[in-house]
Amino acid sequence: MKKVELIFIPTPLIGHLVSTIEFAKRLIHQDDQIWITILSMKSLTSFVDDYTKSLTASQPDRIQLIDIPQVDPPPLDLLKLSAEAYLYAYIESYIPRIRNAVRNIVSVKSSSDSTRVAGLVLDLVCAPMIDIATELDLPSYIFLITNTAFLGLMLYLTTRHSQNSSEFESTDPDHLIPGFVNPVPSCVLPSAVFNRDGGYTAYFKIAERFKDVKGIMINTFEELESYALNCFSNGQKPPIYPVGPVIHLNWQPHPELDLAQRDKVMKWLDGQPQSSVVFLCFGSMGSYGAPQVKETALGLEQSGYRFLWSLRVPQPPSPENDASGIAYYKNPDEMLPDGFLERIQGRGMICGWAPQVEVLAHEAIGGFVSHCGWNSILESLWFGVPIVTWPMYAEQQLNAYVMEELGLAVVLRLDYRRDTSDVVMADEIEKAVRMVMDGGSCWEKTTPTRSNHTQNNKFKLRANPNSSEVRKKVKEMAEMARKATMEGGSSINSIGRLIEDMIGHN
């Protein structure tokens, strides 16, 4: 039996890498013909490279990791203007070295009678590398680590660009985006689409390449996004394959996680009643300044509920503070209200990096206040933990809106952005925590109209559903997620169709 090799090219960011490696493992588990080579670009975050190696170590025979020689990163001035433009430029700078690596692999395999290269599997941001596959007469695929709704936005972006090639405006009317039941307000779109310094251009350049691939795999499942997937099911070119939830369930020590601290966290949770603790965690880049930390602390204290808070301290951009006037702290305790730690002793716990999957799996957790990264959303659904939406950056506002539209979340904010002076006040946080934890009634109903009481992008929310209904729906979705990844489940069947389209009857 001839082996089939797929070359994976992920974006070197932790959330992208974890999902990509887990998807690679799922493919080789489902078909023993498949072997995978992952081309690893140097990460922009120091700990990620070692962590990537630890994630692939469990499958050394059929997953090979090749480190690509480092390139000089773009100037930091571009990062200050647009994170998306900076990342896009960084990926583009790797194209010559990735091309050489792919050519070498294809050359070696073409001289072998036992293995053939079946295609390139590219992360979303690596879309410019489709040209490498085309040059070598290889099919290319995109693995989308976010949801079908985000695919709808990207397709909408290309349609809109043909009529209006300028950036989005916060005052634009609501958008009719494929895959959404309701019109989508501008204030929940990713910040990049408003960015005039390369962010919008980067998004558009990525979006226009979707038509050039042979298939798009999405980290979602039919039962979760049935409406959105149905919108793309009739003759969609390229075809769509829902393959999720692809999440990293087998906990491994993280380089930034003190194992003694991890043990302390889990021991504390072991002593808490079932579903009694609200967990706050905001991802690998999730940190707030002192004003927001103080309001969060007061909101948690006023709620009266037990809590576990992964509090990460903002880091300066260099060993010296920049000239922005931002205050940086070495210790998170410095940002907390006076006497807070004494008042919440026994009822709350603050930690640094938390083992999120382990925590969400613990029976003591009853709610999850999250930045709404798609990996975090899928993990919360997998363990049946209702989420409170507090997005920060990238596409997280859109993810939060998706969860609100599906009735699977309690809304704290949909349109919060980390790079503004906006502060979520203690009473808002208290209400959201109470709502997700005690099954209380929803807030006053409003229609989704503009409100100018604070930032320009604010709008009034549709009613939060009764939180007991949210909890019930989330529990049901957890069961569906598990079924989707079992033999005969919707995602396993979709992966089967994908493999058939990729390698045929080898």
Sequence-ordered alpha helix ranges (H) in 111-147? 130-135
Under the banding of pLDDT at 50, 70 and 90, the label for residue 444 is very low
Q: H helices of 310-425, where?
A: 340-343, 356-361, 374-382, 396-405
Q: What is the pLDDT of residues 385-430, one digit of tens each?
A: 999 999 999 999 999 999 999 999 999 999 999 888 899 999 999 9
**Model confidence, pTM:** 0.91
% helix / strand / coil in the chain, to the nearest 5? 45, 15, 45
Structure tokens at 365: 């957790």
Q: What is the 3-state secondary structure (H, E, C) of 82-111?
A: CHHHHHHHHHHHCHHHHHHHHHHHHHHHHC
Beta strands (DSSP E) in 261-406 are: 277-281, 306-310, 348-351, 365-370, 387-389
- The closest of 147, 265, 273, 158 to 208, measured between CA atoms, is 158
Backbone angles phi, psi at 58, to 5 degrees: -75, -10
Q: What angle do CA 352, 44, 372 make, to 5 degrees?
A: 50
Residue 184 parent element (H or E): none
What is the predicted pLDDT for the residue at 101? 98
> Which residue has 């692999």 as its token pair?
105
Q: Could you tell me the domains of the chain?
A: 3-244+485-503 (3.40.50.2000), 259-316+323-483 (3.40.50.2000)
Q: Mind listing the pLDDT tens digit for each residue in 306-362?
A: 999 999 876 655 443 343 444 556 677 788 999 999 999 999 999 988 899 999 999
Using DSSP's 3-state secondary structure scheme, residue 63 falls into strand
pLDDT at 226 over 90: yes
- Give the pLDDT band (50/70/90) at residue 122: very high
Residue that is written with structure tokens 């293995």 in the block:
115
